[in-house]
Amino acid sequence: MKPGTGRTSNYDKFPTLSVPQGGNACVKGYENCAARLRQAIAQRQASKTVLVIECYPGVDEKRVLREFQRLLSPAVALQASDALLPPEKIDALVAPFLGGDDPVFGFLSDLSLPQFFDPERLEHLRARAAAPANGLVLIVGCGARLVAQDGILVYADLSRWEAQNRFRRNETSNLGVDNRMSPTGLQYKRAFFVDWRVADRWKRPLISKWDFVLDTHDPDGPKLADGEAVRRALRHAVTRPFRVVPFFDPAPWGGQWMKEMCDLPRGVPNYGWCFDCVPEENSLLLDFAGTRLEIPSINLVFDQPEALLGAGVRSKFGDEFPIRFDFLDTMGGGNLSFQVHPFTEYIRRHFGMSYTQDESYYMLDAGTDATVYLGLREGIDARAMLRDLKAAQNGGGPFPAETYVNRFPARKHDHFLIPAGTVHCSGANSMVLEISATPYIFTFKMWDWSRLGLDGKPRPIYLQHGFENIDWDRTEGWVKQNLVNRIEPLGSGDGWREEKTGLHSLEFIETRRHWFTKPVPHDTHGTVNVLNLVQGEEAIVESPDDAFEPFPIHYAETFIVPAKVGRYSVRPLNSKEPSATMKAFVRRD
């Protein structure tokens, strides 16, 4: 039920993109997948066929090999992992990127997948693949394409979010090692800084070569789609608004708002996060005539970067999606950690990231006592602040946050801007729509309010990193003038008005709010737009020339409008009460 309304939530947790002429392009179940592959093999009319099933890290390669070996009866079945370097050599290879004993941070790897393989072992597998004169040669695994360049190419993909869940369930390991029983945080760190970078570099040039795509998010119900049909779906996606599949996670400070608003399972104590526009970790659900194929949404960025992002954004960020929308729910929960984000030069030098996590808090909802901690109080002593933070971290009593940090009341639809270097955190009883740049793990926690993480252990604190990235001039007067509700009227029309709400000039993202009771005209102006319906039950996104079918959105849903779309409008479903959207885009120089 929606809080305070008595109405059932209409938030769509599984948005899909219908694929034109999807027909029978996608099948479900290992038996049907194998039948489709047998058909492709037969169409080649060759005495010998090589079937390469390249896998993203986290895919259950052994099961994929076992099932297709059972159903396809190959003359030879090979696992690419047999050619990997010994685990100790892989550990040595990736060690420079893992930050030693640091539980969170490393350095973005520039490694490539072939570096994980032993040349002699690889040649041995290639010889075994070449040996049969007739029949089927089946090769499965991350790096299978290294064993054989020719033949039918199947790509078994997996979203990063599902990989993280498999880490949590001790079901999978990092690339090239068996560490499934390692702490989940260390597995995630290794995947973030090494595995996913390596695998994405390997994946990008293969997308145009996919004969088939294998979805194993549901291990018992895999789906196989024609590669060209998937590419057609990606080309279709950038011609219209779309949503990625959101995911939700509990947090030590988590609240209850999303549980009701988004109709989430009631057995979970709280939900702190919702990631509903993080294409690196979200999925796309492609609907092929009723059969839904799940693929990582980053594939769209890789395959259609200019149509999605726009030429200007792509020139700055390459094939990365630079805007992130997510929810932070502390309704009935606690304060977020007191934190700061690194300056661009610092994040580049220490972690290998080319841009930093500038952000903002838009208050989607707020309790009567909601607050935001933002910036420093006037005339504070930095050495005293560091001393008190160290003392609190060492069990010397709570950190007296309000001695050093401004605390502002927060109301629904307030907007707080948080350029890197600004100390901040949202207080309890807030529902934050966080609008930010995408480097989403680069947060230096300096105080966590004497609480433990969900694993019962203290969460990592980074006082040294934090203090090296605080802008000590961002005190109360400057913050009030520059970062709190910097709302400027920009224009209006019949039944609508537009406001600029940020972000700060130090940040590369611009945000606009539109209030409307009638259709509002928009234009991407050649750059990707990300929007959220922050007021109103439902609205319809439409094309003025019917270039795409009307696209419904519901309260609190985030949606993406590709740069290629150009002109579009947002029409309220109910014109009696004002609706509102928040829109973000990369500023044009």
Q: Which amino acid belongs to residue 234?
A: L
Summarised one tens digit per residue, pLDDT across range 217-246 is 999 999 999 999 999 999 999 999 999 999
What is residue 4's predicted lDDT score, i.e. its pLDDT?
Answer: 38
| Cβ proximity of 186 and 80 under 8 Å | no
* Angle between helix 30-44 and 61-72 (nearest 10): 60
Summarised one tens digit per residue, pLDDT across range 306-326 is 999 999 999 999 999 999 999
What is residue 80's predicted lDDT score, i.e. its pLDDT?
Answer: 98
What is residue 476's predicted lDDT score, i.e. its pLDDT?
Answer: 97
| Cβ proximity of 35 and 29 under 8 Å | no
| Cβ proximity of 308 and 563 under 8 Å | yes
CA–centroid distance for 170 within its chain: 22
Instruction: Give the fold, CATH level 3, of 247-296+307-482.
Output: Jelly Rolls (2.60.120)
Burial of 101 (0-12, 13-18, 19+ CB in 10 A): exposed
Q: Which of 290, 294, 315, 293 is nearest to 305 (CA)?
A: 315
Number of CB atoms found within 10 A of residue 500's CB: 15
Name the 3-class secondary structure at 55: strand
Considering all CA atoms of the chain, what is the largest pairwise distance in Å, rounded to the nearest integer?
81
Give buried/exposed letters for 404-440 (b at 16+ CB in 10 A, else e): bbbebebeebbbbbbbbbbbbbbbbbbbbbbbbbbbb
Beta-bridge mates of residue 549: none
Tell me the pairing of strands 76-79 and 135-141.
parallel
Architecture of the domain delimited by 17-237: 3-Layer(aba) Sandwich (3.40)
CA pair distance 225, 214, nearest whole angstrom: 7
DSSP at 377: P
- Per CATH, 247-296+307-482 and 488-586 having the same topology is answered yes
Architecture of the domain delimited by 488-586: Sandwich (2.60)
| Cβ proximity of 58 and 161 under 8 Å | no
Helix H, strand E, coil C: the string for 180-246 is CCCCHHHHHHHHHHHHHHHHHHHHHHHHHHCCEEEECCCCCCCEEEEHHHHHHHHHHHCCCCECCEC
Q: What are phi and psi of 442, to 5 degrees?
A: -90, 70
How do the domains of the chain map onto residue ranges?
17-237, 247-296+307-482, 488-586
Token pair 């047999």 is found at 82
The rounded radius of gyration (Å) of the Cα atoms in the chain is 25
CA pair distance 361, 433, nearest whole angstrom: 6
What is residue 6's predicted lDDT score, i.e. its pLDDT?
Answer: 39
Summarised one tens digit per residue, pLDDT across range 86-116 is 999 999 999 999 999 999 999 999 999 999 9
pTM of the model as a whole: 0.95
List the chain residues with pLDDT less than 70: 1-8
What is residue 8's predicted lDDT score, i.e. its pLDDT?
Answer: 53
Handedness of CA 189, 192, 193, 195 (dihedral sign): positive
What is residue 504's predicted lDDT score, i.e. its pLDDT?
Answer: 87
